[in-house]
Structure 1
Amino acid sequence: MIDLRFTPRDPNEPQRGATPLELLFDLASVVAIGMAAQGLVDGIEAGRTTAGLVDYLCNFFMIWWAWMNYTWFASAYDDHSPAFRLLTMVTMFGALMLAAGIDAVFTRSPLLLVLAGFCVMRLAMVLLWIGAGRGDPQHRTTARRYAVGITLMQVYWLTTMTGILPSASLFLPLFLVGMVGELGVPLMAERHAPTTWHRGHIMSRHGRFTLIVLGQCFAAIVLTLQSAPAPPSLDAQHLWHGLLLVVIACSIWGLYFTDGPHLDSSATGRAMIWGYGHFIVFSTIAAAGASMHLMIQDPGAAALGNQVLSLALALLAATLWMIRDRYCLQGGARWRLPCLALVLLLLGLATPAPLEAVALVLVSGTLLRRRATPYGTPC
């Protein structure tokens, strides 16, 4: 018989990395992200740019929030037990259900499959927190608060969203209320006794997921090269375009993976800012990949795709400053990412801004940022 009881992991465990099960969970989540990114591309192509962006962010929130909750829980309570593995697989199935239903948001159809997938993922988290409460008496109240809070939020989603189409005027306000409620659950629960998550493990998990999301950009680069005339003739324009996208993708990697750790403190407030900020980090990187896809799928929308790319990169740079650089850099170096974000924003507002200019600004800003932090400085 499976025992629903999870004992806490040592937060100071040396050299703790991601498990194969966690990587499998990431794979299920990234399938859903790919569907959301494609929906963004389709929405922009259909002339619904603003609505497409809103729909994309709503979808991305559900995917990211379920991933984040599971990741931080696993950091504290992954004891490799059969119960933990079983509930992880249930959560994965919920992620795949959500991915299968994402089109409903973009096509303004009923959200039954999306809600069902999200609720499967979240109710599996309820069982995980119940098991944590049974196996960790010191954090039993915290675990119960999580379980109750998540359950109440699922009641909210099911009672408010089941009969509402994404096109309804009440959809976005009700969704925003749900977002605030979901984000408030950890704030409420962790106030009693913060869970003992592993800082190195959390940084590793977010770094790996960043790489997975960055795969959306590489998929677009492959599509760019495939769209060139068939060999033996090589099209210089497509090769140049692909090279520029490679420069941009590698610069995104360089902006995120700087020397030293991202998260320099285990304090709850600092961790919340860093963790919640990754919603913008992940969603902007995926949006950058979607904009690259748009440039290839619809050459007539290349200027708009370039605009979305510049704005996504500007928001990414600003967010990395907000969650990381402002804590660890001093002097003029501290303001390099805000300056980069401002220039990218101006490029995004200019119509049209050449892709060469975006790549040049981004790679220059990345190189300057990487020179700002000596090796070993917490950042």
Structure 2
Amino acid sequence: MKRQSSLSMVTYDRTIRRRRRSIGVGDLEEQLLEDKAVLPLELFFDLVFVLGITQTVALVVAGHDGQALGRAFLVLAMLWWAWTQFSWTANAIDLHAPRVRFSFFAAMGAALIMAVSVPTAFEDGGLWLALGYVGVRGIGVWLHISGTTDQVMLASVKFFALVSWPGPLAIVVGAFLEPPARSWIWLLGFVLEFAAAGLAGGAEWNIRAGHFAERHGLIYIIAIGESIVAIGIVASGKPLNGVLAATMVLAIAGACLLWWSYFDRLGETIEDALREAGNDQGIVARDAFSLGHFPMIAGIVLFATAAEEIVGHADDPLGEFTRLLLALSIGLVMLAQVGTVKRVGGPLLVERIGAAAAVALLMLPAIEVRANLMFLAVVLVLAAALVLERRRDPLLPQG
């Protein structure tokens, strides 16, 4: 109880500091109740997805080619969309009821089946992955419908349930097919899922902006945490020396910069946009969070994979596949952040576009450099872009 109380106070204090700039003291209590903090039940739920992200990194490392990369994106999309279902559901219902808690626990079981099935998703584990996905999605939709008391929003949830069933059905059907047909049908399933989100996002939704933003910020941190775990696992199997220590520090610096790119100012910018969206809250939540955050998470997962490769082969020339991973990782995170801020009416973050382009140029095969030195160059480019942006752009709120 003491630990939970401390967590609540930290969250409460952080929320007060964040709101004090924009609302009056008299409105503070009402605003806090409206937004509500992320609860321990949700953090507990996220632990299963830590394993899913770890398994996705392992899938890329094991295959070490374009096919493995494409398959990892499909699996990660499945994990992400299952998690996203509960980010919307938990935002709308009371999480304290025993029925809701046991439903979360059941969804964790389905998510664990998904995570464990990732390495064999394109072999004999495909059906288990699909069934776990359908289980998480189904429990989430049922909870959303049964727990929503706002009749207008209930109609929106029911509409989403009506238009979104073809996606999970296609994923189950795809599980019975052999690759590459399985990959194509699963891709079709996610096209259908995204189309359903497009249709339902225009309905009327009442989003608790503070909770929704914090929820996505926490999953962003979890993804970054995977890069730290990957670094530690690889490094622990090698004798520690100066080169390895320096490379680990570079990897941590890269992870810190990815954290900084989101939590310095960007996270609050999109949270404020969601809060002020009025009748368009559903559209902003869909575009800026459910869709906009996926390439960020995917980029961080690729960064973790690249960091694992570089720490393991710091003295070797940077391989072609690791070059691709680094270019894609920084490109996905930076460009997704640019697009998300622009989508909510913010400024064009040109420095981040420049960082993505510069890293892509550094990864050209003609430039052959040791892995750790190339990693240093990437970290310096990213740091320079974020420093220049902060000096130039006063439109984003200062932390």
Q: Does 2:130 correspond to 1:115?
A: yes
1:28 aligned partner: 48
Q: Give the structure 2 partner of residue 3 of structure 1.
A: none
2:34 is the alignment partner of 1:42? no
User: What RMSD over aligned residues (CA atoms) do the two structures have, in Å?
Assistant: 2.6
SS of residue in 2 equivalent to 1:261: helix
Q: Which moved more, 1:362-371 or 1:286-295?
A: 362-371
Cα gap change, 1:223/1:262 in structure 2, threshold over 3 Å: closer, same or farther?
Answer: same
Where structure 2 has 5 or more consecutive residues not aligned to the other structure, the ranges are 1-29
Q: 1:154 to 1:224 in 2, by over 3 A?
A: closer
One-letter code aligned to 1:242? M
Contact map agreement 2:76 2:298 (CA 8 A) in 1: yes
- Of 369-378 and 252-261, deviating more is 369-378
For 2:71, the equivalent position in structure 1 comes to 55
CA distance in 1, matches of 2:244, 2:310: 11
1:243 aligns with 2:245: no
Q: Which runs of 5+ in 1 are unaligned?
A: 1-9
Cα distance between partner residues in 2 of 1:378 and 1:328: 17
Q: Deviations over 1:307-354 (max 9, x none)?
A: 412321122111110001575654xx7311111111111122344352
The question of whether the paired residues in 2 share the 8 Å contact of 1:98 and 1:115 is answered with: yes
315, 337, 348: which one aligns with 1:320: 337
Pairing 1:359–2:368 present? no
Out of 93, 97, 108, the position equivalent to 1:92 is 108
Distance of aligned partners of 1:302 and 1:105 in 2 relative to their CA distance in 1, 3 Å threshold: farther
Q: Render the CA deviation track for 1:123-148: whole Å, top value 9, x for unaligned.
A: 11231133046x33223321222233
Change (3 A) 1:339 1:326: farther
CA contact (8 A) 1:255 1:369 kept: no
Going from structure 1 to structure 2, the CA distance change for 1:118 and 1:334 (only over 3 Å counts) comes to closer
Separation (CA, whole Å) in 2 of partners of 1:302 and 1:215: 24
Q: How far is 1:86 from its partner?
A: 1.6
Q: In structure 1, the residue corresponding to 2:270 is in which secondary structure?
A: coil
Taking the aligned partners of 2:342 and 2:54, their CA distance within structure 1 comes to 29
Corresponding residue for 2:4? none
Distance 1:236 1:79 in 2: 49
Q: Which residue of 2 aligns with 1:346?
A: 361
Aligned partner of 1:255: which letter? S
Cα deviation for residue 302 of structure 1 reads 4.4
Partner of 2:195: 184
Structure 1 residue aligned with 2:146, among 110, 120, 131? 131
| 1:162 corresponds to 2:162 | no
Matches within 5 A, 1:214-229: 214-223=224-233, 225-229=235-239
Q: Are residue 103 (structure 1) and residue 119 (structure 2) matched?
A: yes
Question: Quick one: distance in 2 between partners of 1:361 and 1:238?
Answer: 21
Which residue identity lines up with residue 181 of structure 1 in the other structure? Answer: L
Which TM-score applies when normalising by structure 1?
0.85
Deviations 1:187-222 (A, max 9, x none): 323434x22111111111111111111012212332
Work out whether residues 123 and 150 of structure 1, in 8 Å CA contact, stay in contact via their aligned partners in 2. Answer: no
